[in-house]
Amino acid sequence: MAIRILINLARFAVTFLVATVVVFLFMRLVPGDPAQVALGVNASPELLARTRHEFGTDRPLVVQYFDWVGGLVRGDFGTSYVTRADISPLVVDRLQVSLILVLTAMVVALLAAIPLGTIAAVKHRNASGILIGAGSQLGVAIPGFLAGILLVLVFAVGLGWLPAGGWTPPGENFGDFIRRLILPVLALASVQGAILTRYVRSAVLEIMSEDYLRTARSKGLSPTKALLKHGMRNAAIPVITVTGVQIAALIIGAVVIERVFVIPGLGSMLLDAVGNRDLLTVQSVVMVLVAITLILNLVIDVVYTIVDPRMRKSA
């Protein structure tokens, strides 16, 4: 198992290195001069040359790349082309907000999907199972931003129970923090929960037809006890894999949700940087999002190796 974990770590390192090259080159293909954008169209050639030297964009691409990657390793993302502010503390502050939103939404999605998917599988011929299946299919079809808008219309505008947007740090006012977190978390979790519910249902249905569950039932265990004792661990294996993929989708979906609910996370920072053509900030935030996705997938791979006995034996 240790060898497989080391292989996953090596794969993570190689993928991250390739991602830095792709993101760096892609940002260089975007038309426009950062110095020209920062100074305006009426800037003199001398001022443009001085600003390019200040930004470091007049150096060879190879030098720019290694300086940027070296900064990433040290946690130094450079200085914004537009605001001239240090990007690193801004990324750290916004990252905390996005992680709170994404991880809370995924926990809520799993807490809803596991029991609902199991019930839908066990009672797949009953009205309750059919209703859960139809509801999950409807949830998959609704985009996250539309779910957010509908939640705002109902609970913020219509009923007035919750604020429509904004963000309060948990250390400042925890009660207001929870109230402002509920709607964006529900908007993200509703879609992901519906997707995961369908995968849990499929996994449990497949496990219920296995011989070892029939053997457990023949020994006197009830169908529910046999499933919980012998089946759920095997059913969890494909669900863990899908969860890793869905976390990556959740991170991307949070970009839009943060804009809908006016949340100062990485998604809002990325959209603002794109609008201001602050290419270094865009480059840094994209790499942070890529790194988070790769780390989460690495964790899922390690958990998969631990849970699946076949993977441990092959390792």
Residue 174 lies in a domain: yes
Q: Which amino acid is located at 185 in the chain?
A: V
pLDDT score, position 21: 84
286 and 151 in one domain?
yes
Same domain for 264 and 172: yes
> Looking at the structure, do residues 203 and 63 belong to the same domain, yes or no?
no
pLDDT of residue 274: 77
pLDDT at 309: 56
Judge whether 181 lies within some domain.
Answer: yes
pLDDT, position 299: 77
pLDDT in tens, 226-277: 666 656 666 666 777 777 777 777 777 777 888 888 888 887 788 777 777 7
Task: Tally Cβ neighbours within 10 Å of residue 71.
Answer: 15
State the DSSP code for 227.
I
Q: Which residue do the tokens 């201001």 mark?
A: 276
Per-residue model confidence (pLDDT) at position 208: 67
- Examine residue 81 and state whether it is found in any structural domain, yes or no: no
> Does residue 227 lie in a domain region?
yes
The answer to whether residues 182 and 108 belong to one domain is: yes
Residue 251's CATH number? 1.10.3720.10
Q: Looking at the structure, do residues 126 and 216 belong to the same domain, yes or no? A: yes
Q: Indicate whether 106 and 66 sit together in one domain.
A: no
Q: Which residues neighbour 62 within 8 Å (Cβ) at sequence distance 6 or greater? A: none
Q: Are 157 and 205 in the same domain?
A: yes
**Residue 89 domain-assigned (yes or no):** no
In a domain, 83, yes or no: no
Same domain, 209 and 280: yes
Q: Give φ, ψ of 260 to 5 degrees.
A: -65, -40
Q: What is the mean pLDDT of each run of 10 residues along the chain (315 residues)?
A: 71 82 78 65 70 70 80 77 78 85 86 83 75 77 77 81 80 82 85 82 72 63 61 68 75 79 81 77 83 79 65 53
Please indicate, yes or no, whether residues 220 and 280 belong to a single structural domain of this protein: yes
- For 217-226, the CB contacts below 8 A with 24+ separation are 223/122, 224/122
Phi, psi of 201 (to 5 degrees): -60, -45
Q: Which domain holds residue 174?
A: 96-314
Regarding whether 170 and 218 lie in a shared domain, the answer is yes
What is the number of structural domains in the chain?
2
Indicate whether 21 and 127 sit together in one domain. Answer: no
